[in-house]
Structure 1
Amino acid sequence: MLTVESLKKSYDETAGRKAGRHDDTRTYAVGGVDFEVHDGELFTLLGPSGCGKTTTLRSIAGLERPTSGRVTLGGRVLFDAAQGVNMRASRRGFGMVFQSYAIWPHMSVFKNVSFPLEVMPRAKRPGRKEIEERVGQVLDVTELGSYASRPATKLSGGQQQRLALARALVTHPELMLLDEPLSNLDAKLRETMRFELKRLQRELHLTAIYVTHDQSEALVMSSRIAVMNQGRIEQIGKPREIYTKPATRFVAEFIGTSNFLEGTVASVHGQEVQVDTEHGRLVAHEVDKAPAVGESVLVSIRPECVDLSRQPRGNVPNEWSGKVLTRAFMGDVVDHIVGVGKLEIRNRSNPNLSIPPGTEVHFSIAPDKVTLVPVD
């Protein structure tokens, strides 16, 4: 549906290319990104502050003019630097919801939603009856129907968020652009609204691009995720794939928590890869392309994949012993830090398992839970 090709954005346009030289001295906020957003999916741009995700979104929206690249929606060219095409934001027809909901305080809930229809060009503007029907439909979908006559300022934070969404939906946009719309909500309401937004997106078959720095939010809501770092995309994939098979160390560190060990590939037999580390040998099952013998790799192991016990199991791969250094009760889980020599391994367990510091323990990791990340 939406295609972004070689998109770059620099705010240092005065630098450009030096005369007689081929090197580009500009600093790029977005350094050349490529991705496609498919019909009916929620595609998330995820990354830390300053990684270029919001600049990418604003470039798609037409609120920023990219330095180079191409953006198309279906058969329409929205931006093409080579051809000199840059369609105005108002003509792109996107629905947009940003971190600030920009609710009009002097208007009722109904008028906030109807306003985008009322200011359309006369040739495209719906009649009064159609406006009432469309506003009523989106208010019902967002569960705001009973608040139609209420002043917008009298809504709760979650209701204001749904109002901003309803106002964007009423124009029947081909694409929704959502820039951290939940960041102003408290933690409990954010969690509720994640599922609410996902429900609406699925029920209405919305195609949306969602920008966030919140890993949990991205994992819960996304059809696919593009993890960004320093203006570039490190990995694109489904949430489970991004979490369980990170392509780079940055992705493994940014998405959740991981234990890291440096190692060298000792042998490869089919899908079984044996890796020698400073603290012992680990066996991994690499379904995709296996690394070569002698290659340096980074071993990534998620804390919940570390199976901790007081007694050795025996005859299981990747079983090591160590001592509990500290533990932390976190409500739904207990984290243990286990020392193996100078190495510290984090385990995340059911709260029924809580082992005091100083206890000798054994832990194992299933080979299919050992992820091998290429060394940069």
Structure 2
Amino acid sequence: MLTVDNLVKSYGGAGRGRRGGGPSEPEPDTRAVAPDGSRVFAVGGVSFTVEDGELFTLLGPSGCGKTTTLRSVAGLERPDGGTIALSERVLFDSARGINIPANRRELGMVFQSYAIWPHMTVAKNVSFPLDILPSSRRPPRDEIDRRVRRMLEVTELGAYTDRSATKLSGGQQQRLALARALVIQPEVMLLDEPLSNLDAKLRESMRFELKRLQTELGLTAIYVTHDQSEALVMSSRIAVMNEGRVEQIGTPDEIYGRPATRFVAEFIGTSNFVRGTVASVRGDTVAVDTPDGRLVCSGAGAAPAVGAEVLLSIRPEAVSLARDPHPGAVNQWAGEVLNRAFMGDAVDHVVRVGAQEIRIRSHPTESVEPGTRVHLSADPARVTLVPA
């Protein structure tokens, strides 16, 4: 198990940085702030735990602090504050002055650029991390060869042992970088956007290949990406980051189906947002009055007080579209189709409801012409309450 607690990393220079974490995160170590306040916070009080056997993803836009967090875990960045521990072994602790060098953390890392040695064969690339170990820690030659053969086998590169690394395709080079990181038998694998250099079709197939390897080998891994689809497909849990802090941690289902903030709802997929005022609360069911009628959401968790201003998030695929009213539907609007777009596996409709536009994603057989009057409905269990 790897634990990161209240991690802070700032850089000098003019600029504005986030210093605070979310409601569940402690304040960062303010000793990282210069007297004139001219510090830019790449990471501002990030905390999470990665369980054994998990593929834990740090997801967010460029500049959100995800790579800085990963590099801090790897020992390639020295944080200003916080702690990083692997099981009972402390890798970094600002208060106690502990900072284990990167080459002694025994973590595997795959970089975005792969960093393949062009003058070495496939087998030599894989054995390299073991070959350069001090003699006191280096395994015997036959053990190194056995590990290399095993890694080439699981990454399906056994037929390319003596081939020059530069003669491999992009997907094969990605697997070679993974084999080289795995050969040291790390407790945790760190992967920094390893698929971003591949074309779209290969990237999609490699997602499943990486997930297969992670599951087959029982790897504990931290995966960094800005690709929402990649995170949803591969992850055990996801930490969505924004401006140096964690917005939400949860399973892919939780992150997508129950976003905790507007940022998460907007960044992960597409959402319709409807503002309103809480009309009533019964258990975890909340009724909200909006300019276009009352909407109900269930499973709201900690419900706000009656009269509070709230925001409802509704995914496009959670909205049903029909030409006639839905008998007995709780959440129902009448509107007019403004536009539609054929997406191959779905049809996107934009429907005007009152003063706002609602986006609906339907089965490709459900295509409605613009100008048609329609009725929309949404299951209360698929309507999410987020802070306004």
- Shorter chain as normaliser: what TM range? over 0.9
Q: Deviations over 1:148-178 (max 9, x none)?
A: 1111111111111000000000000011000
In structure 2, the residue matched to 1:333 is 346
Q: Please report how far the alpha carbon of residue 13 of structure 1 lies from its aligned counterpart in structure 2 after TM superposition.
A: 8.2
User: Residues 32 and 81 of structure 2 are in contact (CA less than 8 Å); yes or no, is this contact kept in structure 1?
Assistant: no
Alignment equivalent of 1:293, drawn from 306, 319, 324:
306
Identity of aligned residues (%): 69
* 2:189 corresponding residue in structure 1: 176
Q: Which amino acid aligns with 2:190?
A: L
Correspondence for 1:373:
386
Residue of structure 1 in register with 2:271 after alignment: 258
Change (3 A) 1:122 1:18: closer
1:39 aligned partner? 52
* Distance in 2, Cα, partners of 1:118 & 1:167: 11
Structure 2 equivalent of residue 318 of structure 1 = 331
Specify the SS of the correspondent of 2:152. helix
- What is the match of residue 216 of structure 1? 229
Deviations 1:79-137 (A, max 9, x none): 11111111100000110001001111111111110111111110111111111110000
Give the C-alpha shift of residue 374 in structure 1.
1.4
What value does the CA root-mean-square deviation take over the aligned residues?
Answer: 1.4
Deviation at 1:139, TM superposition (A): 0.4
User: Among residues 257, 264, 271, which one is paired with 2:284 in the alignment?
Assistant: 271
The separation in 1 between residues aligned to 2:72 and 2:282, in whole angstroms, is 47
The worse-fitting range, judged by mean Cα deviation, of 286-295 and 337-346 is 286-295
Separation in 2 of the partners of 1:177 and 1:252?
26
| Count of residue pairs brought into register by the alignment | 372
Moved more, 262-271 or 183-192: 262-271
- Tell me what 1:306 maps to: 319
Task: Give the TM-score normalised by the residue count of structure 2.
Answer: 0.94
Q: Deviations over 1:207-243 (max 9, x none)?
A: 0000000000000000000000000000000010000
* CA deviation string 1:18-77 (max 9, x = no partner): 66xxx9553211001111110010000000000000000000100000011111111111
What's the CA shift for 1:287?
Answer: 4.7
CA distance in structure 1 between the partners assigned to 2:51 and 2:263 by the alignment: 26
Range with bigger deviation, 269-278 or 44-53: 269-278
Large movers: runs of 4+ above 6 Å = none
For normalisation by structure 1, the TM-score amounts to 0.96
Structure 2: 5+ residue runs without aligned partners?
15-30
**Corresponding residue number in structure 2 for 1:124:** 137
For 1:5, the equivalent position in structure 2 comes to: 5
**Is 1:114–2:161 an aligned residue pair?**
no
Report if the CA contact (8 A) 1:16-1:24 is conserved.
no
Cα distance in 2 for residues equivalent to 1:26 and 1:287: 38
1:217-232 to 2 correspondences below 5 Å: 217-232=230-245
Question: Which blocks of at least 5 consecutive residues in structure 1 are unaligned?
Answer: none
Residue of structure 2 equivalent to 1:26:
39
Matched to 1:357, the amino acid is P
Instruction: Give the partner amino acid of 1:225.
Output: I
2:376 corresponds in structure 1 to 363
Distance in 2 (CA, whole Å) between partners of 1:206 and 1:262 is 43
Q: Hey, what's the Cα distance between the residues in 2 that align with 1:276 and 1:190?
A: 44
